[in-house]
Amino acid sequence: MTEPSPTAACDAYDVLVVGGGHAGVEAALAAARMGVRTGCVVLDPTALGRMSCNPAIGGIAKGHLVREVDALGGEMGLCADEAGIQFRLINTKKGPAVRSPRAQCDRDLYNVAVLRRVGAQPNLTVIRGEVIDLAVERGGGGPRVVGVELADGGRLAGRTVVLTTGTFLGGRLFAGAWEQAGGRLGEAGASRLSLSLRALGLRLGRHKTGTPPRLVAASIDTDRLEQQPGDAAPRPFSFRTERLEVDQLCCWLTKTTPATHAIIAAHAHLSPMVQGRIVGAGPRYCPSVEDKVVRFGDRDHHLVFLEPEGRDHPEVYPNGLSTSLPVEVQERFLRTIPGLEEAEIARPGYAVEYDHLATDQLRGDLRVGGVEGLFAAGQINGTSGYEEAAGQGLVAGVNAALRVRGEPPLILDRASSYLGVMIDDLCRVNPREPYRMFTSRAEFRLLLRADNADRRLGAVGRRLGLLDETAFARVARKESRIAAARAQLRAARHHGASLEELLRRPEVGVAAVSALSPSLAALRLSPEELSEVEAEVKYEGYIRRQEREVERLRAMESRRLPAWLDYASVTGLSAEGRERLATRQPLTLGEASRLAGVTPADLNLLLAVVARGPDRPAAGVLAP
Ligand code: FAD
């Protein structure tokens, strides 16, 4: 296993990243690649990039985020390709906007892939230590972060600090009556830093998440279970991976039974959530099995995916069985599930509750408002998931480096990326439960596909210096091959109709039209390029409409909000949006769009009202 780079402290850093999870790793690598001196302080340097939960990357909308991180020059996609043991494109039967890649990874290989990249990165030093305090100077303009204090008494100077403390900040672990401080099982938490953040006047909240028991692979009877194979022709996660040669492993599907539900229901009162010992809200979309049994009492089963933790790994992850019930209860209910009658628990399931920053304190570049030079990314920003963390980490690392270089920040808008959607959502509202990405959060879904992330963001990655020339040349080649294919489709005809017209028909696929055009076939487009061509042709009308909407919104960014605008009389505004607009009185629509609580629908409404002018209130828009 590759050793991390030497843990040496140097006197001063341009960017100090606190934490080495998915957010911390992307932040530190991005900043270091941008040529600024970067330090990454972690509790355990061997755990860089460790996956706290299932070793799977991607899935619906999360796969889009990884593709965007990759397009900008980040590492998560490359590590997933290196460590993947099963690859699937999810939602292939649905429209192109919601298709998303997912890879089950080998937990240890992923860790090794991350350690190797960090160890080989110039300008980056990994420092073992617990950050307990932020060093702050107070001038006339408010507090400015100048470094961090370590638990061993050391101090590191930093011109900027990026906090990526994950589930460790004030972390507490729970399973039944058992409870202890910790960031995840076997790793201590970090509670003193919370006090320091509160002392700076920052608002913190509490969130909770959980994980299932890990099962001994050899104790599972998979013979009777449904197999879940990977894709026959697996596609790489990263745009930079030329070829994927992988001997894929199988996953299995089983389900809970009425007997499982009876045991869980009889012991639900032992759950620390039910007992009120956990106060933080958990993810509604990823509930514990006890939550599912209680909330959906009419269901007689819930699906459980049995996913290997690695190629030769002795443990299996039962996806769908997250729990914080006592270990004895976990053992009992497992035995009622087909295939798990003899299953042994390698590590018990548990819940973790931790502190996060109230996200309306964040700005679009992931600065923490009110403390100069301070940035935050990942689970500390109220999100859940490796992919959400990696995306924020990259943006925060880039912006910390840009700040050091005195350059304008990178702000991704909602029309450019899921990353832009996520950061914008976080700045607007304080999520009451851990925030995860869904395709439904993006209003310009047809433009923000997983397959075209490189064409959307490659130029940004290149400009920042994160994407090398070879990788960017590949994006340019793809662009011109797709343009050539579109031209061929328009030029070639079959029975009087152009191939483009044929491809617009719902029953005609891109493979069929390729067979009709030797010059199109001669372009030898990759499967991904072909599906991009297909999406662009079939959905051209919708795509054009979304593009026009984006142009309109971008043009409106600098549109002034006139003094005659009376928010109280605009019907249809959200209650929170109306209150914020009235108190903050933003000067432009762009400024309004960044106010927490002002929704995209509010902005569209304001646009309409401003466009109509003061004297021509439209029925249903302005109150009489
Ligand atoms: P983490 O991966 O938590 O990394 C935090 C890093 O910060 C670590 O390197 C730690 O050493 C370091 N650190 C913290 N405090 C300090 C300090 N004071 N000084 C120095 N270093 C510090 N996500 C899902 O999407 N679905 C799930 O079902 C799910 N279940 C989970 C279950 C459990 C039990 C846990 C623990 C997490 C779960 N997650 C789940 C969340 C997922 O693991 C995180 O979203 C993701 O790892 C967040 O990445 P991060 O980089 O923000 O933080």
Closest atom, ligand 1, to C-alpha of 190: 18
> Residue type for 116, please?
R
Question: Of all residues in the chain, what percent are helix, strand and coil, respectively (each to 5)?
Answer: 40, 20, 40
CA distance 26 to 404: 18
Over the chain (624 residues), the average pLDDT of each successive run of 10 is 40 93 98 98 94 93 98 98 96 89 96 97 97 92 93 96 96 95 89 94 95 96 94 94 93 97 95 87 86 89 96 95 97 97 96 94 90 97 97 98 95 92 87 92 93 97 97 96 95 93 93 89 90 94 92 78 90 91 82 82 89 58 26
pLDDT at residue 562, rounded to an integer:
87
Q: What is the pLDDT of residue 48?
A: 95
CA angle 119-125-126, nearest 5°? 80
Q: Evaluate: CB of 53 within 6 angstroms of ligand 1.
A: yes
18 lines ligand 1 (CB under 6 A): yes
Q: Tokens 């290149």 correspond to what residue? A: 462
φ/ψ of 272, rounded to 5, equals -60, -25
CB distance 373 to ligand 1 below 6 Å: no
55 C-alpha vs ligand 1 centroid, how far in Å?
13
* DSSP structure class, residue 53: S
| Residue 31 backbone dihedrals phi, psi, to 5 degrees | -65, -45
- Closest protein CA for atom 40 of ligand 1: 385
What does DSSP say about strands 497-498 and 226-228: parallel, antiparallel, or unpaired?
unpaired
Q: Is 4 in the pocket of ligand 1 (CB under 6 A)?
A: no
- Cα(187) to ligand 1 centroid in Å equals 11
C-alpha 184/C-alpha 189 separation (Å) is: 8
**What three-state secondary structure class fits 502?**
helix
For the Cβ of 349 lying below 6 angstroms from any atom of ligand 1, the answer is no
Ligand 1 in reach of 104 Cβ (< 6 A): no
HEC secondary structure over 225-268 = CEEECCCCCCCCCCCCCCCCCCCCCCEEEEECCHHHHHHHHHHH
| Per-residue model confidence (pLDDT) at position 11 | 58
The answer to whether the CB of 22 is under 6 A from ligand 1 is yes
Listed in sequence order, the DSSP H helices in 296-447 are 327-334, 386-404, 418-428
Output b/e per residue, 46-84; b: 16+ Cβ within 10 A: ebbbbbbbbbbbbbbbbbbbbbbbbbbbbbbbbbbbbbb
Ligand 1 within 6 A of CB of 52: yes
Nearest-atom number in ligand 1 for the CA of 393 is 51
Which residue's CA lies nearest to atom 10 of ligand 1? 19
Q: Atom 18, ligand 1: which residue's CA is nearest?
A: 131
CA 184 to ligand 1 center in whole angstroms: 8
Q: Atom 25 in ligand 1: which residue has the minimum CA distance?
A: 385
Can you say how many angstroms the Cα of residue 233 is from the centroid of all Cα atoms in its chain? 26
Which of ligand 1's atoms lies nearest the C-alpha of 42?
A: 21
Atom number, ligand 1, closest to the C-alpha of residue 390: 51
pLDDT of residue 7: 43
- pLDDT at position 617: 42
- List of residues 6+ apart from 442 with CB closer than 8 A: 61, 414, 418, 421, 448
Report which ligand 1 atom has the smallest distance to the Cα of 388: 45
CA-nearest of 546, 555, 568, 558 to 589 is: 558
Rounded Cα distance between 116 and 110, Å, is: 10
Ligand 1 centre and the CA of 413: distance in Å?
A: 26
pLDDT of residue 563: 83
Ligand 1 contacts CB of residue 308 (under 6 A): no
CB atoms near residue 370 (< 10 Å): 13
CB 397 within 8 A of CB 31: yes
Q: Is the CB of 28 under 6 A from ligand 1?
A: no
* 167 Cβ inside 6 Å of ligand 1: yes
β-partners of residue 131 are 150
- Which of 115, 168, 291, 435 to mutate for ligand 1's pocket (most ligand atoms within 8 Å of CB)? 168
